Chain A
């Protein structure tokens, strides 16, 4: 390291520090209460938090298209060249619902609902389909044998099977042939203190946060608004809730 570099570095640090201080003062209150704090990389997750999503369908003008694009970009699915359309992986999809009696219709993005009592976790023979302590349901592809039983069990058809050899996967989103995959609430991003990609694509409509914390924005939104789960009759206590359906 030569002298110029360290000088450059220190100079920038001072500038940045000052700018940061000014910015913090401007937006401080909300930021300091930001709850999805990054946990230290070497600290284990605990069940103190339970992550959840609240999707306000009324505020989603495109029915979730932007979210789907963001998810594709983040995780690298959506382009399985050899698979036919029915074999293509889809982590999140836009479902158009038309009520038979009234003719009303709306569209909503449907992804893994991160159920508390997930049927997919129950039926997986190896335990690859697992729920983390913080409520995120994911597939541990290291031990997934590709039996697709979880796909049979999921009431939301959230899971996809990878039907062909993949290359150039996203470094933070490994996915491979012969294993099952689904939305994992962007666990890598969440662990780093960021929001899931879909939340950032539609911040006006989707709230992400800790369901266990009564003071979190999502918990407050759940108490103040009428929200529902898809297939609430199955009593799965999903982590993904919807408003306006």
Chain B
């Protein structure tokens, strides 16, 4: 018998200025995002910092951040369902709600940045190239949302039919997430032209990053909502979340190490490593942002006895991890594009089209607004979800 039958869930009762204030904040972000889209779409992408050298910019960093997080956020539910950890089972509904919201928010940013969004209707009418990993990702993302909806139904509906699908859906979700995140990483991994991307390990790296980021965001959300709705959050769960995060951080570090080592040892990719690791522009972001703030510091806060209070440790590390993951994606996406394409080995090249030079990029306001709009949509959906549906357990005391 699963714990979910014994746990009672209830809608969020908060109705005061606190809830509506927070909701309005994310609502405003969403409106800002839509306005930014309108502006970018009407004028064209010349209003952005993206150009023919850096073709993917801040909106894509936000979008991939949200999508990678979505995949990992659903992991909490998986641990409960597939791995039968009873402590995690009450957390499942919120986990799935968060995952779906993150994914939809990320997809929105990705879609709204498209140059010719009207032609997406052609895609819906059948123009899909199945040799493209991008097209497969579109299918995987839509499938993920569908699976989550069905999975949520099996959790929330008390009939026998629903419960009979609970375990199978859990397993399907688990496998689908692997394929999805592998696919997201492979968007970069298949680009043989770019030195920073053309390695197989991009897929596994993104899988590890999704676990790390998804758990961090989930933890933050759980603690915040329970605190603001005055529900009990027992130490057992906090401890579990606190000690699962370091494992994921270490996994990410391992895959990053593997990736950089591959690049250093493969002669073809020699040029990119000094650029990322030692040049000023991206190395600062990499070492201070991703490694120090995003990995080492959280590891220290989580593992050492420095923070006796589990909640404080969890919250602070989660925030640091989120910042670090954002910077990691920035370095991957923008840093990878900043390196010039090598047309001729052992030669310096120059042209009127920025050959042979390191490309620079600075995001403009519309791009940031668009990215934040995705975050706005995500949390608007989460807030509506926990308000209308019984997503949050009434109490998670030990």
Q: Do A and B come from one complex?
A: yes
- A residues lining the B interface (CB < 8 Å): 80, 82-84, 86-90, 93-101, 110, 119, 122-128, 141-149, 151-157, 159-165, 177-180, 230-231, 234, 245
Complex interface: chain B residues within 8 A of A179 (CB): 115-116
Chain B, residues 185-217, CB within 8 Å of chain A (1/0): the string is 001001111100000000000000000000000
| B38–chain A nearest beta-carbon distance, Å | 14
**Chain A to chain B: the 3 pairs with minimum beta-carbon distance, closest first:** A146-B115, A178-B115, A155-B193
Q: Contact at A90–B115, with CB atoms within 8 Å?
A: no
- Interface CB pairs A-B, < 8 A, 26: A82-B43, A83-B51, A87-B45, A87-B50, A90-B52, A95-B349, A95-B350, A96-B350, A97-B344, A97-B347, A99-B347, A100-B348, A110-B343, A119-B192, A126-B128, A144-B115, A144-B116, A144-B119, A145-B115, A152-B337, A155-B341, A156-B341, A157-B355, A159-B52, A177-B44, A230-B343
Asked if B135 CB lies within 8 Å of chain A CBs, one says: yes
Q: Contact at B51–A127, with CB atoms within 8 Å?
A: no
Asked if B351 CB lies within 8 Å of chain A CBs, one says: yes
Q: Contact at A145–B348, with CB atoms within 8 Å?
A: no
Query: Quick one: given A123-B133, A123-B190, are A164 and B348 in contact (CB under 8 Å)?
Result: no
Q: Contact at B134–A94, with CB atoms within 8 Å?
A: no
Q: Contact at A89–B52, with CB atoms within 8 Å?
A: yes
Asked if B352 CB lies within 8 Å of chain A CBs, one says: yes
Query: Quick one: given A93-B353, A152-B56, A154-B193, are A125 and B119 in contact (CB under 8 Å)?
Result: no
- B residues lining the A interface (CB < 8 Å): 41, 43-46, 50-53, 55-56, 114-117, 119-120, 122-123, 127-129, 131-135, 138, 187, 190-194, 337, 341-344, 346-355, 359
Complex interface: chain A residues within 8 A of B51 (CB): 83-84, 86-87, 163
**Bound state CA distance, A128 and B122, in angstroms?**
10
Which of B123, B134, B348, B353 interacts with A98 by CB under 8 Å? Answer: B348
Q: Contact at B44–A126, with CB atoms within 8 Å?
A: no
**Bound state CA distance, A35 and B137, in angstroms?**
44
Chain A residue with the shortest CB-CB distance to B41? A178
Complex interface: chain A residues within 8 A of B53 (CB): 86, 157
Q: Contact at A127–B44, with CB atoms within 8 Å?
A: no
**Bound state CA distance, A28 and B50, in angstroms?**
54
Complex interface: chain A residues within 8 A of B44 (CB): 82, 162-165, 177-178
Q: Contact at B352–A94, with CB atoms within 8 Å?
A: yes
